Structure 1
């Protein structure tokens, strides 16, 4: 059985194409993350999968059946696909237990399990206007999941959350997948949210799917500078300079891409450079080094240099990538 198959989906609104020929598949239990700049079509793609936006061409197949769009269905949406947007709403001034009861189709035991997983059991007597943003979001999520969907679509679930609520929500999302067996697709701008969680990442650019693959592949072998920038810092060095400085040559590509952690500073050899800046980020230092023709960033867990030091730069040749 095909769990989810998006095939040749395009979406146009008022003559403007929002999505162009998007195709991918997802297996049951597979965790998929969608990354891309604002306006790249991520939310529209989720809404199309959920049956809330009508594709201009192509189709979405869910569990071997076509997802019907809003043009052909009186009440948009699919009963087994839940979509939580960034603009979720809760009724004002009601107790949380009232909000949940209105939409609850679960047994009491199932409901309690869901509330515990969503970390909201202690909130049921509170009124919705007494909740923090993170608590309101988890209430909205629990209400949405009361139909026990097979596929959950989360649109920027971590945006506008402080570190505490973000950590709680990450635990909730983990448990929804592992304990309840709900398959998830989520959108996030933060590489820390996607690289460590996803089984597969889709990269969107101007309405097109430009790259997809496992997190390690996406991070170490980005298809272009745009994709590289979505998942962390990088150095982009013209091919002519890469050849003269490091002896690295690729006639088919125009730039050498180096992640900062693929570069080391040494004392006795390597390409000569001068330390121009040092920044401390807690888990690592970011050191900027000026070479003869280009400035590069290096990350290191320890820092035994100071600004102005002359250093040598060595590149891990197994971790270079060309774009």
Structure 2
């Protein structure tokens, strides 16, 4: 593995008595799209501000390209930020907004014109240089803000919820545009959001944060398929979670029955939580179902029906199916062993990874 472009080593950030980040450590590789995901107040934007140099760490080290930057001011770091409100100057046209940073650095007019023209082409706004900011749509303003950041040739681009003010259709379009832009440029993007669908769609790697700590990190597929605990499972997509008992490797008990599964490396008869995603449950007859539920409600969601029911123990089950069900009827639910995900209580990410590795080696 190449040397990380950014490293946090046991970084802590306090505001007076409030701990916002608590001993956070991670590495960011060059040329990838990273997303910091979590609820409001979990520390996402604080991490961005520490990388940018807008805030100072209370403890720990921050490295940029292997060099400690804790005491390096923001304007000396090869990092640029796109803010949630874009922070564009309304009295300047598109060209002057993008050129602003270069003028501060006293770059010659010839080079400014070349660089601004180049980044306008990158963000597909070629020919928009003379437009006033007030004449630009929300998506165009976002691209101007990105162009203004890119013109300074940063090693890292930080994006603080830049899509949150856009409507759903434009937001989806901009997700594709941002991802394609990152791939084309090959620079590191660090994106902050509380929208799990956005994180899954755009990222190479996701850091899930809660209360100032990184709870789990990995690829979107890893985190969706193998959440470490109930918080991650609920935050990343919809999930059915019920109490269970790990009988032995590859055998878990829940709702009063034993089921084959693919998890292991736990204690015999250990209390656990069992998760099955709604899309992994299939409707079938009561006789053929591994579970039986009474259908409470059904909503059409466009690509599937969302069916909600309860089993005889009172557990709620959500099913995503292309088949309809009748409210008040009893149906069977079918699933495969690999659709069952077993989660231990209070397991750290390090313990989770070590358990998977030891289990895979057997």
| TM-score (ref. length: structure 2) | 0.81
| 1:261 paired residue number | 279
Bigger shift: 38-47 or 270-279? 270-279
The structure-2 alpha-carbon separation of the partners of 1:289 and 1:52, relative to structure 1 and needing over 3 Å to count, comes to: same
The structure-2 alpha-carbon separation of the partners of 1:288 and 1:237, relative to structure 1 and needing over 3 Å to count, comes to: same
The 2-side partners of 1:43 and 1:191 are apart by 16
Question: For each residue in 1:35-89, what CA deviation from the matched residue of structure 2 results, as whole angstroms up to 9, or x when unmatched?
Answer: 11100000001111112110111111111111234xxx5x534431112222432
> Does structure 1 residue 247 correspond to structure 2 residue 265?
no
| 2:319 paired residue number | 298
| 2:90 paired residue number | 92
Match of 2:195 among 190, 199, 210: 190
Match of 2:309 among 289, 298, 306: 289
Unaligned residue ranges in structure 2 (runs of 5+): 246-251, 261-267, 344-362
Question: For each residue in 1:279-306, what CA deviation from the matched residue of structure 2 results, as whole angstroms up to 9, or x when unmatched?
Answer: 1111222111221112200112x12322
> Does structure 1 residue 314 correspond to structure 2 residue 334?
yes
Contact 2:176 2:202 in 1 (8 A): no
The structure-2 alpha-carbon separation of the partners of 1:78 and 1:84, relative to structure 1 and needing over 3 Å to count, comes to: farther
The structure-2 alpha-carbon separation of the partners of 1:153 and 1:101, relative to structure 1 and needing over 3 Å to count, comes to: closer
1:112-261 → structure 2 map (5 Å cutoff): 112-239=117-244, 243-248=254-259, 251-261=269-279
| TM-score (ref. length: structure 1) | 0.90
| 2:23 paired residue number | 21
The 2-side partners of 1:287 and 1:122 are apart by 50
The 2-side partners of 1:171 and 1:312 are apart by 39
Contact 1:52 1:77 in 2 (8 A): no
Bigger shift: 99-108 or 212-221? 99-108
Aligned length: 318
The 2-side partners of 1:94 and 1:198 are apart by 33
Unaligned residue ranges in structure 1 (runs of 5+): none
The structure-2 alpha-carbon separation of the partners of 1:198 and 1:11, relative to structure 1 and needing over 3 Å to count, comes to: same
Match of 1:50 among 28, 49, 52: 52
Contact 2:11 2:22 in 1 (8 A): yes
Contact 1:93 1:129 in 2 (8 A): no
The structure-2 alpha-carbon separation of the partners of 1:272 and 1:296, relative to structure 1 and needing over 3 Å to count, comes to: same
The 2-side partners of 1:127 and 1:174 are apart by 27
The 2-side partners of 1:127 and 1:8 are apart by 45
| 2:360 paired residue number | none
Contact 2:52 2:77 in 1 (8 A): no
The 1-side partners of 2:201 and 2:85 are apart by 26
Match of 2:39 among 30, 33, 37: 37
Bigger shift: 132-141 or 281-290? 132-141
| Alpha-carbon distance, 1:242 to partner | 5.3
